[in-house]
Amino acid sequence: MEKVTLSVIKADVGGHVGHSAMHPKLPARARKELEESKKGGKILDYCVTHCGDDLELIMTHRGGVDDEEIHKIAWDVFMACTGEAKALKLYGAGQDMLKDSFSGNVKGMGPGVAELAFTERKSEPVLVFMADKTAPGAWNLPLYKIFADPFNTIGLIIDPAMHDGFTFEVLDAKEGKTIEFNTPEEMYDLLAYIGSTGRYLIKTVKTKKGEPCAASSTQKLSQIAGKYVGKDDPVCFVRCQSGMPAVGEVLEPFSFPHLVTGWMRGSHNGPLMPVSVKQATPSRFDGPPRVTCLGFQLNEGMLGDPRDMFDDPSFDQARSMANKQAYYMRMHGPFEPHRLPPEDLEYTALPQIQERVKHRFKPV
């Protein structure tokens, strides 16, 4: 059977109000554009949503990963929506469109991409996670728990189809190299790297037999632009059930609002709060960082109706914990570890201050 490709491509093309949420005209325009592409037969199906100020295009097609035509479709949608954002004078209109014209692949041009091509199973449940006010390292902890931690995923112990473990592909974002680790046998080596969430990013996860299970966006905007232009606000998706983690095992790590980098000015640590799409409106101190999740049952490449997976009272406690942690972290004001260390700050007046006062330092 011909493989289906799931491409989740996102960009911040303007916020309403400030960086807090999405103006309804943007997704409406994106849907209009993608409907044309669907009629033209280039994409099988699409779902447009948002997380905070990020516009999310979830698309299925037969083109495989890195398909130029699909990436061009996404780029053109973001360009059209940038036009809408400019007309509405939305904040940061075109923020993530870092290049003037499309050149073959949206990677390295601003938008974030997570893609996999796979053979659709008898039933194919997929969960798509989208985050705002954080960086791609935010997925390391939940992906590790989903695929390697038996205290999270009981299937690793009691489902014979999962007992062999999984293979993690990790990107060294500084050197631009990848490495694979097999779990459970190399879990300590894996953790030695992925605990450093600023540099080492879980890019994909597959079964030991090579069946792809999960993919995340690992683009870092500041590396592309050479300066801070907005947080990466990453996406990630996971195939579920029948030898892969169950839907509930994939959602479970988000019951713990772990600390991630991002939040105000991309320069703070704060809890990642799991929310419904409606609640994906980071407001307090431009946050706290949010994660949403839409679930799909693929059907011959069609996405069908999405389910808003965090729109559930079983995540109320996680939201409440995240709010408590947000208060605790905020009490630190401009002090670390709430504020990031100088080398990780996305905005900084520090060099100017150092230049101005350096003559006042006396040797001891």
Task: State CA 207 to chain mean position distance.
Answer: 22
Structure tokens that stand for 325 in this block: 């942690």
Contact region with ligand F6R (CB under 6 A), list: 121-129, 172-180, 260-268, 313-321:
260-268
Residue whose token pair is 């408590």: 324
- Cβ atoms 240, 250 nearer than 8 A: yes
Report the C-alpha gap between 239 and 298 in whole angstroms: 10
Of the candidate residues 92, 108, 248, 306, the single one contacting Mg ion (CB under 5 A)? 92
Catalytic residue list contains 159: no
Does position 110 bind ligand F6R by CB under 6 A?
no
Whether a cis peptide bond, with omega within 30° of 0, leads into 229 is no
Question: Site map for ligand F6R, 124-143, x if CB under 6 A?
Answer: ---------x----------
Catalytic residue list contains 42: no
Does position 265 bind ligand F6R by CB under 6 A?
yes
Give the one entry of ligand F6R, Mg ion, none that residue 115 binds, where binding means its C-beta sits below a cut-off of 5 to 8 angstroms depending on kind: none
Binding residues for ligand F6R restricted to 270-309, rule: CB under 6 A: 286
Does position 15 bind Mg ion by CB under 5 A?
yes
Of the pair 54, 249, the CB lying nearest ligand F6R is at 54
Report the C-alpha gap between 308 and 348 in whole angstroms: 37
Cα–Cα distances in Å, from 196 out to 44, 60, 138, 171, 336?
Answer: 38, 32, 11, 11, 17
- The active-site residue, picked from 132, 200, 231, 233, is 231
Contact region with Mg ion (CB under 5 A), list: 58-66, 150-158, 227-235, 271-279:
227-235
Of the candidate residues 117, 264, 303, 322, the single one contacting ligand F6R (CB under 6 A)? 264
Structure tokens that stand for 62 in this block: 């037969």
- Cβ atoms 109, 11 nearer than 8 A: no
Catalytic residue list contains 228: yes
Question: Site map for Mg ion, 134-173, x if CB under 5 A?
Answer: ----------------------------------------
Of the pair 231, 319, the CB lying nearest ligand F6R is at 231
| Minimum separation from the CB atom of position 361 to Mg ion (A) | 38
Report the C-alpha gap between 332 and 294 in whole angstroms: 34
Give the one entry of ligand F6R, Mg ion, none that residue 18 binds, where binding means its C-beta sits below a cut-off of 5 to 8 angstroms depending on kind: ligand F6R
Give the one entry of ligand F6R, Mg ion, none that residue 142 binds, where binding means its C-beta sits below a cut-off of 5 to 8 angstroms depending on kind: none
| Minimum separation from the CB atom of position 286 to ligand F6R (A) | 3
Residue whose token pair is 């509405």: 88
| Minimum separation from the CB atom of position 260 to ligand F6R (A) | 12
Of the candidate residues 29, 38, 61, 231, the single one contacting ligand F6R (CB under 6 A)? 231
- Cβ atoms 16, 93 nearer than 8 A: no
Does position 268 bind ligand F6R by CB under 6 A?
no
Does position 108 bind Mg ion by CB under 5 A?
no
Contact region with ligand F6R (CB under 6 A), list: 57-65, 206-214, 258-266, 327-335:
258-266
Residues contacting residue 138 through CB under 8 Å, at least 6 positions apart: 131, 197, 234, 258, 260, 261, 262, 272, 289, 291
| Minimum separation from the CB atom of position 227 to Mg ion (A) | 15
Active-site positions read: 12, 228, 231
- Interface residues with ligand F6R (CB under 6 A) are 18-19, 133, 230-231, 262, 264-266, 286
